[in-house]
Amino acid sequence: MNGGADQIRAELARQGIAVTDDDLAMITTIVAANRAALARVPAGAVEDPEVSHGFLPPAPPAEPPAVPADDAAPHAGR
Partner 1 sequence: MAVDLAYTSLTELGRLLDARKVSPVEIVRAALERIERYNGRLAGYITVCGEAALAAARRAEQEITGGGGRRTRLHGLPIAHKDISLTKGVRTTAHSRCLIEHVPDRDATHVRRLAEAGMIMLGKTNTTEFACGTMDLFGIARNPWELSRYTGGSSAGSASALAAGMAPAATGSDTGGSIRVPASFCGIVGLKPTYGRVSRYGLIPLSWSMDHVGPMARTVADCALLLNTMAGHDPLDPTSARTPVPDFTDGLDAGVRGMVLGVPKQHFYERLEPEVDAAARAALRHLEGEGARLEPVDLPLVGHIAGPGGILIMAEAYGLHARQLRERAADYGDRTRRRIASGACYTSGEYEAATRVRVAWTRQAARALERVDAIVTPTLPHAAFTVEVQKAGEPPDTSWGTRHFNLSGHPALTLPCGFTAAGLPIGMQLAGRYFDETTLFRIAHAYERSTPWHGRRPAVGEAVS
Taking the least distance from each CB to partner 1, the nearer of 3 and 73 is 3
For CA atoms 57, 60, 61, 67, give the dihedral sign. Answer: positive
Neighbours of 29 (CB within 10 A): 11
The residue type of 77 is G
21 binds partner 1 (CB under 8 A): no
Write the interaction track for partner 1 spanning residues 26-45; mark x where CB under 8 A is met and - where it is not.
xx-xxx-xxxxxx-xxx--x
5 binds partner 1 (CB under 8 A): no
Are 1 and 11 in contact, with CB atoms under 8 Å apart?
yes
Using CB under 8 A as the criterion, which residues of the chain lie in contact with partner 1 when the complex forms?
1, 3, 8, 11-12, 15-19, 22-23, 26-27, 29-31, 33-38, 40-42, 45-47, 49
